[in-house]
Structure 1
């Protein structure tokens, strides 16, 4: 009798689990966006889904949500538009109504921010950072532009000027400027402002709560780091306020007369300290460019004695001033290193600091395409990545293109990231003019995922393409069976 009851319990639990799983699938299908991707549907890690929620945009880059739930998007060399979404939960979200023009200005190309109160909109061009009064109820700017930071470099080389307003230190605006060329000798002199990240205090006693006059990027501001080739993605870890950036490293790399650019040097995640006065010895120091770079595929590097992933090593032929010893002792090594040419363009942390999401735009300077994906990195909730600095499996891929051989021409290319009020993550694809939303099939918010316990499932791949199932959840069926078996074992056996 007891055994029969046990079987009935097992049958009930299994059926209930299957019904829940099927309901989730049916619900996802019923709510899926009706907007078809421009190219093939993305590959998505088990337990996740990614849908196109807006399209027909022109090179969408940086994004921020306003106080009314409108998504403000910089269209490169077009200006800023706003997209409104329906009020549906989960993956049912999609664009509602027409795309609204907010600022028509072809000089704007990437950077965007909103003040904490949502009434000041910031955006950048190659020449400077500007501010407008903004009304979220109408989706319109209510003033002309005011220059906040000027002399940011002009149209040479890397022209994006990424913006980040600190949440932990209100009023501090970070601006990242890249190099003027692949190997830019001007970056050897930190006073030029080339390849640097700086912070600017926007608070003042005047009516606009902005500085009385604009800053000069090269001459003013708090230096967080220099020798950063092109750190397009800048993020603030929400627990400690630590500042991280993700850097696009050099192309066509030579070492001891050999071209080793296919798999070296690695892209970087760098740590830059804090804005609140907490001491960090390396803040404002040299991160290596244009002489020192991070190792990725160590075996392909000539004269690689003692190198590990992330080791700073010298470009070209070593001499008295450019050598591995200087790179190791005189520059700041990355906190994490990624595969060469993946081109990270944004980094966003979840609210409790247990995950950092990174958009990888994808390669051009490599025979076999790499990148073209959205990945997540586990953090410890106290300000640091869980993976050691020598790891080559620090990230888990969540959304990727199914056939990299078709990239870049027939692939989405992730750029900007943005959280909405429901904890859903959005990313822009400039190559396809699309906005995607990334949601979890279990109904929990994307922002609660931490990449080690509930952030990805066994279908995800690590940085070396291998399964990272040991770090992530088991599948639904295994959970159901385990619960069923536990229910049986809890019954007395007579």
Structure 2
């Protein structure tokens, strides 16, 4: 966001809050977003500080996590005009509560080291129910400690545990994805050798877990790629920290025997693009060529000599076979200046796609209307 936009936003912010206005709409250059023909983008919600993972309640409440802000939000579109008009802050000052999910009427929120549950939350609002501690045995290191969470087809809660470093060989549960039985509190290691996954989903037909993984830094501008991976067997190893992508040896930790454990990625996504939230598109609004595709939010590079990412990509599938990898929404990066950073995607009941942006404090709605 340029300095003028920031100034405009700050000047009108107080008025906007008092008048119920959308203040970010004055500052965010949505006209710069490039989409395929027939698609359009609009603001669903603004002033959602540091918006990260999203989850939709049964009654249409949009729940949103944050990272640095430490907040958890409930957004309500009371007049059903595809724009949130009420924001409730459910929690403040949490430990990087980036991830949350909605399951059987309850909201689950992930701090770095704890999982909380807000029981029957939509029927309680605007009263905020007292959260119940579900699990408190997660590591408490902040580095790559924020996480997305989601329930799987098996009814277990899936929780990534990132590496507490750029590259290191710390023991499990670091660098893994766990499945938590919320009743017994038992965990299962679903995947290991995973540096930092901040987005995953389950294949709508096979039920297999697919996830994004951020590659390590400090190996230059073009190595290694971020990855899109598929878990075909419980406990699979995906190479970190010994080997990256299919066969790139780590300069510090390469071990020939341990590298044999590596499961190559289904797709290399590009180095430093910071692939985060992903979802299989199961909506009916978009044309046929988008059905069953994976949408991936790329947060964008932070230490590459020329910036990459800052976009939403489409992965076209035929079963488990990847047919194409295409830009879907671009324009948050203008030259070397970025005004937004996509984090997560979420398909709405009408088939529109929401995209959260933790830099612009916004949530966008992408919809399709044929000519």
> Normalising to structure 1: TM-score of the pair?
0.64
- Residue number in structure 2 paired with 1:180: 164
Distance 2:317 2:26 in 1: 34
Distance 2:252 2:181 in 1: 42
1:362 paired residue among 289, 300, 314: 300
Give the CA deviation at 1:95: 2.2
Aligned counterpart, 1:63: 54
Q: CA deviation at 1:36?
A: 4.2
Map of 1:351 onto structure 2: 282
> Which digits, 9 at most, give the CA deviation of each residue in 1:328-348, with x for residues without a partner?
x32111111111001111111
Residues 235-281 of structure 1, C-alpha deviations (whole Å, 9 max, x = no match): 1111111101100110001xxxxxxx2011010011113xxxxxx3x
How far apart are 1:403 and its partner, in Å? Answer: 4.4
Deviations 1:166-185 (A, max 9, x none): 2x32x211001101110122
Structure 1 unaligned runs (5+)?
1-32, 203-209, 254-260, 274-279, 295-310, 388-393, 443-475, 477-494
CA shift in 2, pair 1:150/1:50, >3 Å = same
Corresponding residue number in structure 2 for 1:430: 358
Matched, 1:38 2:22: no
Structure 1 pair 333–125 and aligned structure 2 pair: CA distance change class (3 A): same
Between Structure 1 and Structure 2, which shows a larger proportion of helix residues?
Answer: 1
> Secondary structure in 2 aligned to 1:351?
coil
Q: What CA RMSD, in Å, does the superposition of the two structures yield over aligned residues?
A: 2.4
TM-superposed deviation, 1:287: 0.9
Cα distance, 1:402 vs structure 2:
5.8
Give the one of 67, 73, 76 matched to 1:81: 73
Contact 2:163/2:175 (8 A) holds in 1: yes
Q: Is residue 153 of structure 1 aligned with residue 132 of structure 2?
A: no
- More displaced stretch, 420-429 vs 351-360: 351-360
Q: Does 1:314 align with 2:314?
A: no
Deviation of the 1:50 alpha carbon: 1.3
Q: Describe the SS at the equivalent of 1:252.
A: coil
Deviation at 1:81, TM superposition (A): 1.3
Partner of 2:331: 401
Deviation track 1:2-33 (CA, whole Å, cap 9, x = no partner) reads xxxxxxxxxxxxxxxxxxxxxxxxxxxxxxx9
Structure number with greater Rg is 1
- Measured at CA, do residues 406 and 141 of structure 1 come closer, stay the same or move farther in structure 2, by a change above 3 Å? farther
Partner of 1:229: 195
The separation in 2 between residues aligned to 1:262 and 1:135, in whole angstroms, is 45
After TM superposition, the structure 1 = structure 2 runs for residues 440-479 of structure 1, keeping only pairs within 5 Å, are 440-442=368-370
Does 2:270 align with 1:339?
yes
The Cα offsets for residues 19-65 of structure 1, whole Å up to 9 and x where unpaired, read as xxxxxxxxxxxxxx993452463222222111122111210111111
**Alpha carbons of structure 1 residues 196 and 419: separation in structure 2 relative to 1, 3 Å:** same
2:209 aligned partner: 243
Q: How many angstroms apart in 2 are the aligned matches of 1:179 and 1:99?
A: 34
Partner Cα separation in structure 1 for residue 137 and residue 252 of structure 2: 35
Q: Offset of 1:103 from its aligned partner? A: 2.6
- Structure 1 residues 317, 184: CA separation in 2 closer, same or farther (over 3 Å shift)? closer
CA distance in 2, matches of 1:416, 1:406: 22
Alignment partner, residue 225 of structure 2: 266
Q: Is the 8 A contact 2:296 2:344 kept in 1?
A: no
CA contact (8 A) 1:162 1:177 kept: no
Separation in 2 of the partners of 1:418 and 1:100?
Answer: 20
SS across alignment from 1:290: coil
- 1:82–1:317 Cα change, 3 Å: closer
CA distance, structure 1, for counterparts of residue 276 and residue 91 of structure 2 = 23
**1:142 CA displacement:** 5.6
Gaps of 5+ in 2: 1-22, 284-290
> Structure 1: how far apart are the matches of 2:127 and 2:168?
37
Q: CA deviation at 1:359?
A: 0.4
- Richer in strand (by share): 2
Q: Which residue of 1 aligns with 2:89?
A: 101
TM-superposed CA distance for 1:326, in Å, is 5.5
Alignment match, 1:287 = 238
**SS, match of residue 386 in structure 1:** strand
CA contact (8 A) 2:306 2:336 kept: no
Give me the whole-angstrom Cα distance separating, in 1, the residues matched to 2:27 and 2:326. Answer: 23
Give the Cα separation in 1 of the matches to 2:173 and 2:79: 44
Structure 2 Cα separation of the partners of residues 147 and 82 of structure 1: 19
Contact 1:370 1:404 in 2 (8 A): no
